[in-house]
Amino acid sequence: MEQENNAAGRAAAHAFVSAPVSTAGHALRTTRASAHAHRLRLCAPRRAVANARRTQVRCQSLDNDDVLVIPNRKRNLEIQVEGVKIVYDYYPGEKGPIVMYLPGFFYARSRTAKVNALQTACNRRAQGFLALDYYGTDRSGGEFANGTVSRWVKDVVTILDQILPNKKVVLVGSGIGGWVMLHVAIQRPEAVVGLVGLSADPDFTERLLMPALSETQREELDSKGIIDLTWGYRKYPISKKLVDDGRNMLVLTGEKDSLPITCPVRLIQGLADEELPSTFPLEIVEKIRSTDVNVTFVKYGDHALENDSDFKLMINAVKEVSDLYFEYDLRSPTSG
Model confidence at 112, in pLDDT bands (50, 70, 90)? Answer: confident
- Side-by-side strand order, sheet with 84-91: 28-31, 293-298, 265-270, 192-198, 169-174, 95-102, 127-132, 84-91, 77-81
Greatest mean pLDDT range, 42-51, 184-193, 224-233? 184-193
Average confidence (pLDDT) over 93-118: 84
Domain assignment of residue 225, given as a range? 74-331
- Kindly report the average pLDDT of the chain as a whole number: 80
pTM of model > 0.85: no
pLDDT at 334 over 50: no
Q: Is residue 32 part of a domain?
A: no
Q: Is residue 247 part of a domain?
A: yes
Longest dimension (CA), the chain: 70
Q: Is residue 4 part of a domain?
A: no
Per the CB < 8 A criterion, the answer to whether 118 and 173 are in contact is no
**Beta-carbon count within 10 A of 271 CB:** 13
pLDDT cut 70: percent of the chain above it: 73
In whole angstroms, give the CA distance from residue 230 to residue 222.
18
Model confidence at 111, in pLDDT bands (50, 70, 90)? Answer: low
Q: Is residue 171 part of a domain?
A: yes
Q: Is residue 54 part of a domain?
A: no
pLDDT digits (tens, 9 = 90+) for 231-240: 767 788 899 9
Domain count, the chain: 1
Please give the radius of gyration of the chain, using alpha carbons only, rounded to the nearest integer: 20
pLDDT digits (tens, 9 = 90+) for 298-333: 999 999 999 999 999 999 999 999 999 976 555 444
In whole angstroms, give the CA distance from residue 128 to residue 73.
11
Specify the CATH number for the domain of residue 240.
Answer: 3.40.50.1820
Start-to-end CA distance of the chain, whole Å, equals 43
